[in-house]
Amino acid sequence: MELVITMLPSSPHVRSVYLGEYGVLKGAAPGTPLIDSSTIDPLTAREVAMDAKAKGCPMVDAPVSGGVGGAEAGTLTFMVGGDAKDFEIARPVLQAMGKNIVHCGGIGNGQVAKICNNMMLAVEMIATSEGMTLAAKLGMDPKVFAAIVNTSSGRCWSSDTYNPYPGVLEGVPSSRGYTGGFGSDLMLKDLTLATDAAKAAKHPVMLGALAQQIYQKHSNDGNGPKDFSSVILQYMKQ
Amino acid sequence: MELVITMLPSSPHVRSVYLGEYGVLKGAAPGTPLIDSSTIDPLTAREVAMDAKAKGCPMVDAPVSGGVGGAEAGTLTFMVGGDAKDFEIARPVLQAMGKNIVHCGGIGNGQVAKICNNMMLAVEMIATSEGMTLAAKLGMDPKVFAAIVNTSSGRCWSSDTYNPYPGVLEGVPSSRGYTGGFGSDLMLKDLTLATDAAKAAKHPVMLGALAQQIYQKHSNDGNGPKDFSSVILQYMKQ
Amino acid sequence: MELVITMLPSSPHVRSVYLGEYGVLKGAAPGTPLIDSSTIDPLTAREVAMDAKAKGCPMVDAPVSGGVGGAEAGTLTFMVGGDAKDFEIARPVLQAMGKNIVHCGGIGNGQVAKICNNMMLAVEMIATSEGMTLAAKLGMDPKVFAAIVNTSSGRCWSSDTYNPYPGVLEGVPSSRGYTGGFGSDLMLKDLTLATDAAKAAKHPVMLGALAQQIYQKHSNDGNGPKDFSSVILQYMKQ
Amino acid sequence: MELVITMLPSSPHVRSVYLGEYGVLKGAAPGTPLIDSSTIDPLTAREVAMDAKAKGCPMVDAPVSGGVGGAEAGTLTFMVGGDAKDFEIARPVLQAMGKNIVHCGGIGNGQVAKICNNMMLAVEMIATSEGMTLAAKLGMDPKVFAAIVNTSSGRCWSSDTYNPYPGVLEGVPSSRGYTGGFGSDLMLKDLTLATDAAKAAKHPVMLGALAQQIYQKHSNDGNGPKDFSSVILQYMKQ
């Protein structure tokens, strides 16, 4: 076995696959590089990597963003946490799958980068949803408003690249009934990881916590499989 | 008198200056173009313009963004609401003062564009503050995190152009103790206008309303005169 | 004319009825007692009363609670703001209609008492809704949970007298499909008054502001005419 | 050994003490009654009890409320989850320590009752803080306002028994600088358990989540050891 790459749904799975009775660390020869591309909480990532290190196996956490489309096109971004030399071992492997391989610092920081970015993204997507729908309700053409915001201080990726208001941009989920893209339930999972990490770190994240609640409500309303930009529907249906 | 330009602190002032006993509409000759550059609520803007129209005076609302720096450099943005032909009358006048003169649609829409943009901006600034401080608390270098976000889906003007975390960007308020820039109390005023307009329109804006509260608290804590990116201090001081 | 009692839907109506061209203050003889039982913002109540005083008319604000049922049974509560001697003039009149006539202090304080009480009530009703539904989802019998809360530190009027969970109490709106009672749109109106007053006073009310948003969403979902305890439906339907 | 009673700070401790290599379940004779009075998450309580049952040991979860004062006076309340016959075994033991021994249903429900009650309590305490301070800022005497609320629909334990506004009630923490009582950090812990349980159950708790954030901020501001009614200071200092 030359190297191990895993991509698992949650922290308990990672813990079990690496540390379990028949887990990777039981069988891997010392020196085997380990790459975990799951999105999990940073603390688990750090614990598992410490155990791996004790077994002589260099390990990095390397969560990915870019979605199914990015995977097919080979344009994924990997956010990698680990020692510099472990990062160099993992880099060529990841380059075969993705376009941007970013070193985020020590082990666990791949997770930190991903969940903090996605918490910002979720809040910005809801902010864009509120701004677009309020402007429309107050009488503005949504396309005109989006054009103004996108050259102004309110611009963000959610407004200029992935606008949630139907008909503003082409080729995005909002133009095709919120199919495809990054599901609301996946965003909810990342928000849960981010707010859990904030709790463990005793750090307040008021808007992040409220965004987590809004996505939970949105999911319970039956929108879990729809793209996460469908959260705008919370502001449109009456 | 060839034309009237006003820039006043709040809706009652605008109402009084235009509609009062000794107000502009009492003295202006029919046909005099009226430009109001105040940031006020859209309903007042529409009411005053309607009265102006009845007197034969074309009126536009044209709130401005860009701050003191933009005014000195002549790079202000004017967001203009009014009929197309009234916009054309106002445009050359505004071009003498600003760089971007944007037609936002009918009367009042200048206000709509500005307050909805600024509500998005406030939420995104707080989102950036939460993301930056959480990433730092979880062990990431803030500059590295900002670099990742700014090439990823969490990027926004607040993260890539006006980052609130001290030391990430040069030449912005966060690099000079939050002096200069756009005061927290001015942002609070715009958030108040936006949430008031949302109430009047019976439209929910959950994150916008919470952002208004956070800026109110921030102001009451004594930060009203500091740049609005100083809201990050709500997440840093312990 | 011996005395004037009014009960009007909103501040502009009160202003117009008392201060308008054909308003009460134009026609009332000096000394005529004025009682306004509308629920409006305290600032308007104070302004109108000051004008009344200048005309020699003693005025109190006396918003009411207790609902249609209370009106029919004569058990309404009047919360009265005004000078002590003006309160004494109004008291016997109000006693003919209500059971509890409470002096809240100077003019406008009737409004303050009512909107601050109702803001607390709205937050507590949502808190009860969240607690009851969470306990049920985690496997507890709602009646058993309510019994425990009602003898413990979580008890409130919303849990022990007006429980929103269907089947916990008899004779309350939750036991009859949320008909009757105090409509969600009326609660939304009072929350709007309370959060507006907080804004004007530069006072943060985080939970009050979020409660206002939740009732706005609840109303937009079509529940405006239902009793305000129906807000629990935001946590029950999936 | 006739029976085991434990009271531990968190879920991992309970797991370790009962299930660990040298844990209770390793040493306890079948039939030994087990009572855990820790406040932990309901899922852990259920898992541990299931293992205990498999070993033939009846187990109940029995978190307690009433504080240091209640412990000294013997007036604690125990909220007990477990089978009816296991409850009957535990009852006489708990009666030696507390006044109210409440059966909440199956195993884990003691935890559910406690954390859901305390989530309601936290929200109501903040609601009372907002209502009291807003009424005061709008010009009402806090004692007068409290008296009105406490005979009206806004009343709750936090307003009538434990009012957070200094000087309204005697003998409560707000009358002695928020010393004694139930610490803000303990309330934060319970809110964290409640919102974690809500996340695991995929249940939204908007106000509960925001209350958790407000207590986190309050703790980070240095108020962790103060009584939890000190959260009103978030609304008083300027």
pLDDT digits (tens, 9 = 90+) for C188-217: 999 999 999 999 999 999 999 999 999 999
Mean pLDDT in residue range C95-105: 93
Across the interface, whether the CB atoms of B217 and D238 are under 8 A apart is answered: no
Size of interface A-C (CB pairs under 8 A): 11
Sorting pLDDT into bands at 50, 70 and 90, what band is D48?
A: very high
8-state DSSP, C235: G
Distance from CA of B61 to the nearest CA of C (A): 25
Distance CA C136, CA B96 (A): 65
Distance CA B70, CA B74 (A): 6
Mean pLDDT in residue range C167-184: 95
Mean pLDDT in residue range D46-60: 95
Query: How much of chain C, in percent, has pLDDT values that exceed 90?
Result: 90
Q: How would DSSP label each residue in D174-215?
A: GGTTT-SSSBHHHHHHHHHHHHHHHHHTT---HHHHHHHHHH
pLDDT digits (tens, 9 = 90+) for A214-224: 999 999 999 99
Residue C53: which residues within 8 A CB-CB, separation 6 or more?
Answer: C59
Q: Which residue of B has its CA nearest to D235?
A: B217
Q: How many CA within 13 A on the CB side of residue D22?
A: 0
C187 CB within 8 Å of a chain D CB: no
Mean pLDDT in residue range C64-81: 83
8-state DSSP, A28: P
pLDDT digits (tens, 9 = 90+) for D81-133: 999 999 999 999 999 889 999 999 999 999 999 999 999 999 999 999 999 99
Residue B165, exposed/middle/buried by CB under 10 A (0-12, 13-18, 19+)? buried
D234 CB within 8 Å of a chain B CB: yes
For residue B112 the two structure tokens come to 């709509």
Across the interface, whether the CB atoms of C116 and D138 are under 8 A apart is answered: yes
**Among C33, C37, C28, CA closest to C9:** C37
Q: Which pLDDT value is given to residue C67?
A: 72
Our CA dihedral for A40, C138, D98, D52, rounded to 10 degrees, sits at -70
Nearest to A212 among D192, D209, D216 (CB): D209
Q: Which residue of C has its CA nearest to A218?
A: C238
Phi, psi of C19 (to 5 degrees): -105, -5
Q: Which pLDDT value is given to residue D94?
A: 94
For residue B122 the two structure tokens come to 């406030």
Measured between beta carbons, the chain A residues lying within 8 angstroms of D216 are 199, 202-204
Q: Which pLDDT value is given to residue D238?
A: 45
β-pair type (C34-36, B76-80): unpaired
Sorting pLDDT into bands at 50, 70 and 90, what band is C2?
A: confident
Mutate to test the interface with A, among D199, D207, D221 (most CBs of A within 10 A): D199
Instruction: State yes or no: pLDDT of C90 exceeds 90.
Output: yes
Q: Which pLDDT value is given to residue B66?
A: 77
Instruction: State yes or no: pLDDT of C238 exceeds 50.
Output: no
Instruction: State yes or no: pLDDT of C109 exceeds 70.
Output: yes
Distances (CA, A) of C45 to C27, C30, D188, D236: 19, 19, 40, 26
Residue type, B176: R
Q: Which pLDDT value is given to residue D171?
A: 93
Across the interface, whether the CB atoms of D65 and C123 are under 8 A apart is answered: no
Q: Is C114 a catalytic residue?
A: yes
Question: B143-150: long-range contacts at Cβ-Cβ below 8 A with a sequence spacing of 24 or more?
Answer: B143/B167, B143/B168, B144/A104, B144/A105, B145/A104, B145/A112, B145/A113, B145/A116, B148/A79, B148/A102, B148/A104, B148/A113, B148/A117, B149/A116, B149/A117, B149/A120
Q: Which pLDDT value is given to residue A238?
A: 45
β-sheet bridge partners, residue A79? A102
Q: Which pLDDT value is given to residue C237?
A: 66
Average pLDDT, chain D: 94
pLDDT digits (tens, 9 = 90+) for A177-232: 999 899 999 999 999 999 999 999 999 999 999 999 999 999 999 999 999 999 99
Across the interface, whether the CB atoms of C105 and D138 are under 8 A apart is answered: no
β-pair type (B76-80, A59-61): unpaired
Please report which residue ranges of chain D form alpha helices under DSSP H.
Answer: 11-19, 24-27, 42-54, 67-73, 84-95, 109-137, 142-149, 157-160, 184-200, 206-218
Average pLDDT, chain B: 94
**Among A71, A74, A65, A95, CA closest to A228:** A65
**Known catalytic residues of A?**
114
Measured between beta carbons, the chain B residues lying within 8 angstroms of A140 are 104-105, 109, 112-113, 116
- Give the E-state strand segments of C91-176 in sequence order: 98-103
Distance CA A4, CA A6 (A): 7
Q: Which pLDDT value is given to residue C236?
A: 92
D206 CB within 8 Å of a chain A CB: yes
Compute the C-alpha angle C189/C195/C199, nearest 5°: 140
Residue type, A110: G
Sorting pLDDT into bands at 50, 70 and 90, what band is A237?
A: low
Q: How would DSSP label each residue in C33-97?
A: -EEE-----HHHHHHHHHHHHHTT--EEE--EESHHHHHHHT-EEEEEBS-HHHHHHHHHHHHTT
Q: How many CA within 13 A on the CB side of residue D20?
A: 9
ipTM comes to 0.95
**Among A111, A186, A123, A189, CA closest to A158:** A123
Mutate to test the interface with C, among B47, B203, B206 (most CBs of C within 10 A): B206
8-state DSSP, B113: H
D196 CB within 8 Å of a chain A CB: yes
Distance from CA of D75 to the nearest CA of A (A): 33
Across the interface, whether the CB atoms of A203 and D213 are under 8 A apart is answered: no
A236 CB within 8 Å of a chain B CB: no
Nearest to D127 among C105, C123, C133 (CB): C123
Distances (CA, A) of B88 to A8, B84, B103, B176, C96: 59, 6, 9, 41, 64
Mean pLDDT in residue range B137-159: 96
pLDDT digits (tens, 9 = 90+) for B45-71: 999 999 999 999 999 999 998 777 777
A217 CB within 8 Å of a chain C CB: yes
Phi, psi of C206 (to 5 degrees): -55, -55
Distance CA A63, CA A39 (A): 5
Whether residue B102 contacts residue B78, with contact meaning beta carbons closer than 8 Å, is answered with: yes
Q: Which pLDDT value is given to residue B238?
A: 45
Sorting pLDDT into bands at 50, 70 and 90, what band is C10?
A: very high
Across the interface, whether the CB atoms of C213 and B204 are under 8 A apart is answered: yes
Q: Which residue of C has its CA nearest to D113?
A: C145
Nearest to B209 among C210, C219, C220 (CB): C210
Q: How would DSSP label each residue in B23-78?
A: -HHHHPPTT--EEE-----HHHHHHHHHHHHHTT--EEE--EESHHHHHHHT-EEE
Measured between beta carbons, the chain C residues lying within 8 angstroms of A126 are none
C117 CB within 8 Å of a chain D CB: yes
Instruction: State yes or no: pLDDT of A5 exceeds 80.
Output: yes
Mutate to test the interface with D, among A188, A202, A217 (most CBs of D within 10 A): A202
Q: Residue with structure tokens 């709205």?
A: C122
- Subunits close to C (at least 3 CB pairs below 8 A): A, B, D
Sorting pLDDT into bands at 50, 70 and 90, what band is A81?
A: very high
pLDDT digits (tens, 9 = 90+) for D54-94: 999 999 999 998 777 777 787 889 999 999 999 999 999 99
Whether residue A82 contacts residue A58, with contact meaning beta carbons closer than 8 Å, is answered with: yes
Residue C58 CA to its chain's centroid (Å) = 24
For residue A80 the two structure tokens come to 């990698």
0.90 surpassed by pTM = yes
Distance CA A69, CA A99 (A): 13
Average pLDDT, chain C: 94
Helix (H, G, I), strand (E, B) or coil at C233: helix
CB atoms within 10 A of CB A168: 21
pLDDT digits (tens, 9 = 90+) for B187-217: 999 999 999 999 999 999 999 999 999 999 9
Q: Which pLDDT value is given to residue B237?
A: 66
- Subunits close to B (at least 3 CB pairs below 8 A): A, C, D
Across the interface, whether the CB atoms of C210 and B212 are under 8 A apart is answered: no
C62 CB within 8 Å of a chain D CB: no
Distance CA D108, CA C140 (A): 9
A222 CB within 8 Å of a chain C CB: yes
